[in-house]
Chain A
């Protein structure tokens, strides 16, 4: 497929959407690059789906401007944008076979029947639906319907593929499989993907960049590793997995980093690029457990509150003398024997792993 040439860049400038008095989106400005895989992530009601509907053209923004490869498309209706779209629940045509479903957009484009036949056959193979071409959607499993929806959205090589929580109806194993499939389809087609989900692990696994929405605002747009390890604010830090946030007193920053006091210990972080920071944040998996204070790095004294066995990992809940709660996620193999609730321990981590917030 030579779709790579067709992938488009989308630009949004100051996009807003009001429903009466309710502001669903405010001042969204971002660019999705050619061939990128951007995930819109946020809790329900955060505006991520509204933004996708505005990108697709099914909803009109009440403020702002949209561009496609630099050309204004703010007022272009959905049928003229003709982006590929995979809906929640797939929205397949129930009265058509798999092949007829996939051929529909090609018929709209009035391609020759030889061309249609060739493309449909090609994409049916590509998404692994060989042998199911003559079935109706009702005769397919959820995963197969998902593949039909993807094939139908990709077969005409649209410049952009929009996906609205496509995996929400699938069970966990199938979800993993379909994520692999999506990654492969993205690589093979080279199309620009914009994907809505509320599942953070899905977002981290699939995206080139993640846009995090909350209360109608864009909180951060960065690569998965950056949003996870250097979140822009407390909401992003807490939304993406668990995190320990330790309140600091006497925060100071210099060229080499920054730090402050926590329960009598001086804690430091490498990145001190944030003005007005009041806390230090560390992910649970970067903390290590020690029975005595280690010589270097940050360390906080605490007692074991309880442990939760999770198989390969064990989750430890600690409480400091000052009453702060800490969470550690350790490989079960690293847990010392005889660790009872109440045992005094040290939670330690390298300065490179924490950040000021």
Chain B
């Protein structure tokens, strides 16, 4: 058998599976967006003209941007300990990355609810210690959503960062030290710039992943901080306004695609320089 045909035979089932489970349904969604309730681009016009939809899009972008910065920054510190720390630090970090992976997103969201709600542990302690008289609103708002999403997404940022940090040549850091540079200067002017591809990669993964979040914002936002995925769900399962929901889906998909393409270009240009 020739090389290409053997390749097709091996990869074919996967392609068929992906087509059946992603491509066909998505094409169906695209069809709804231009046919329901009547043929035309009316749903796109309605979606982009609806202040509620625009508010949700804007909020989604804002939350995802904050979550991306917070998750990548936290992951950077964690990864630094993991890659460059001692054996004990390494083990602790590994457990802290792996254990959340084994726990369902639902459990973790309810866990945060238990911690952050008005009658939750944090408010309870703060009031017991007399620091607060009224409970702080930590959940059922954007803050709660950001905390829950950041926590969930940190591990996904760790892996691209780890591979970037591992590829940093130790001798380059030694060279900087040998020229008299202190630790802070070596970190900010040598180490961080050398891991920039990892930072961009981690940011992209987190941001794209965050755009489609559903469960965490639904639970921790308490219906007040609706994000795009939840809005689509509401339009399709509760309104039911299938055409509008489908149009929002397609817009989200396009946004992710454009973002990915732009980031890829950025990374490739950075690499070729």
Q: Is A2 located at the chain interface by the 8 A CB criterion?
A: no
Are B171 and A108 closer than 8 Å at their CB atoms?
no
Are B190 and A109 closer than 8 Å at their CB atoms?
no
Please pick, from A78, A109, A136, the residue contacting B273 in the complex, using a CB distance under 8 A. Answer: A136
Q: Is A79 located at the chain interface by the 8 A CB criterion?
A: yes
Given contacts A95-B193, A95-B194, A136-B273, whether A82 and B178 have CB atoms under 8 Å apart is: yes
Are B172 and A92 closer than 8 Å at their CB atoms?
yes
Q: Is A58 located at the chain interface by the 8 A CB criterion?
A: yes
Are B181 and A87 closer than 8 Å at their CB atoms?
no
Please pick, from B179, B182, B196, B273, the residue contacting A104 in the complex, using a CB distance under 8 A. Answer: B179
Closest to A156 in B: B179
Are A82 and B179 closer than 8 Å at their CB atoms?
yes
Residues in B with CB closer than 8 Å to A82 are: 178-180
Q: Is B134 located at the chain interface by the 8 A CB criterion?
A: no
Are A91 and B181 closer than 8 Å at their CB atoms?
no
Q: Is A105 located at the chain interface by the 8 A CB criterion?
A: yes
Whole-angstrom CA separation of A87 from B179 in the bound complex? 12
Are B174 and A91 closer than 8 Å at their CB atoms?
yes
Are A105 and B180 closer than 8 Å at their CB atoms?
yes
Whole-angstrom CA separation of A57 from B178 in the bound complex? 8
Majority secondary structure, A binding face: loop
Residues in B with CB closer than 8 Å to A81 are: 178
Are B177 and A78 closer than 8 Å at their CB atoms?
yes
Whole-angstrom CA separation of A78 from B190 in the bound complex? 17
Closest to B190 in A: A93
Q: Is B259 located at the chain interface by the 8 A CB criterion?
A: no
Given contacts A58-B174, A91-B174, A95-B194, whether A79 and B169 have CB atoms under 8 Å apart is: no
Closest to B171 in A: A91
Q: Is B48 located at the chain interface by the 8 A CB criterion?
A: no
Q: Is B36 located at the chain interface by the 8 A CB criterion?
A: no
Please give the distance in Å from B169's CB to the nearest CB on chain A.
Answer: 6
Whole-angstrom CA separation of A84 from B175 in the bound complex? 9
Q: Is B224 located at the chain interface by the 8 A CB criterion?
A: no
Are B175 and A87 closer than 8 Å at their CB atoms?
yes
Interface members, chain B 93-149 (any A CB < 8 Å): none
Interface string of A73-116 (1 = CB under 8 A from B): 00000111111110111011111100000001100110000000
Whole-angstrom CA separation of A81 from B172 in the bound complex? 17
Q: Is B61 located at the chain interface by the 8 A CB criterion?
A: no
Are B181 and A83 closer than 8 Å at their CB atoms?
no
Q: Could you list 7 examples of A-B contacts with CB < 8 Å? A: A58-B178, A78-B177, A84-B179, A92-B175, A105-B179, A109-B180, A136-B273
A58-B177, A104-B189 known; 9 new pairs, CB 8 Å cut-off, are A78-B174, A80-B180, A81-B178, A85-B179, A88-B171, A89-B169, A92-B175, A95-B193, A108-B185
